[in-house]
């Protein structure tokens, strides 16, 4: 389970950033950051099929800006269902290359996960690198089927409430 986290980053460079809820005016700037940080074909990934024509969860999206207002990082969440159970799909999360390795991604994760827990969400799903996400409590999920061609070794989950993943398995589908 998560505990409260500070709204500012804890490492020296990252402390120059302030985290706020993503607003409508941030949309295109966040999209440009995602384009910068990810391969050109990012929207062809299977996780994007779960996001097609579905709005991100506005209360959970975060942006990190420096004292000049320059975007340094962003994170979004989307509603999905796993075997019929409402679940959060985390991602994308991105940090501008000039701010990577300074704790900003961790601050975005902790802040947004604490908000998700406060809003009553039970579980979070993502596709990513287990060694990075394990430090936030994510574990490999078995029996959770992302749309192909997702590597099942990269399907990770986090319980925001005790045993939230117990008995939850099946296909991941849009929650419309």
The pLDDT assigned to 45 comes to: 81
Can you list the domains of the chain with their CATH numbers?
14-174 (3.40.630.30)
* pTM, two decimal places: 0.89
What value does the mean pLDDT take over residues 142-155? Answer: 94
- Contact between 75 and 109 under an 8 Å Cβ cutoff? The reply is yes
* Model confidence at 166: pLDDT above 80: yes
Q: How far apart are CA 82 and CA 88, in angstroms?
A: 10
Distance CA 102, CA 122 (A): 29
Does the pLDDT at position 4 exceed 70? no
Residue with tokens 């969440």: 77
pLDDT value of position 28: 95
pLDDT tens figures, 121-144 = 999 999 999 999 999 999 999 999
pLDDT at 12: 45
For 47-103, the pLDDT digits (tens) are 888 998 999 999 999 999 999 999 999 999 999 999 999 999 999 999 999 999 989
Q: Is the pLDDT of residue 13 over 80?
A: no
Q: Give whole-number Cα distances, 43 to 133, 144, 171, in Å.
A: 22, 21, 20
Q: How many other CB atoms are there within 10 angstroms of residue 123's CB atom?
A: 21
The pLDDT, as a whole number, for residue 15 is 64
């Amino acid at each position: 389970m998560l505990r409260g986290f500070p709204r500012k980053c804890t490492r020296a460079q990252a402390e120059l950033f302030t985290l706020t809820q993503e607003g409508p005016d941030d949309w295109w700037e966040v999209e440009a950051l995602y384009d910068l940080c990810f391969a050109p074909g990012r929207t062809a990934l299977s996780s994007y099929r779960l996001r097609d024509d579905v709005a991100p969860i506005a209360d959970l999206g975060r942006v990190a800006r420096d004292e000049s207002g320059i975007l340094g990082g962003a994170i979004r969440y989307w509603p999905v269902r796993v075997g019929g159970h409402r679940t959060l799909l985390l991602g994308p999360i991105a940090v501008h290359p000039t701010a990577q390795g300074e704790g900003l991604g961790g601050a975005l994760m902790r802040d947004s996960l604490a908000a998700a827990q406060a809003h009553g969400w039970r579980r979070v799903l993502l596709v990513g690198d287990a060694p990075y996400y394990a430090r936030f409590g994510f574990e490999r999920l078995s029996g959770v089927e992302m749309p192909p061609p997702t590597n099942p070794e990269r399907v990770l989950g986090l319980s925001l409430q005790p045993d939230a993943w117990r008995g939850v398995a099946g296909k991941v589908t849009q929650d419309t």
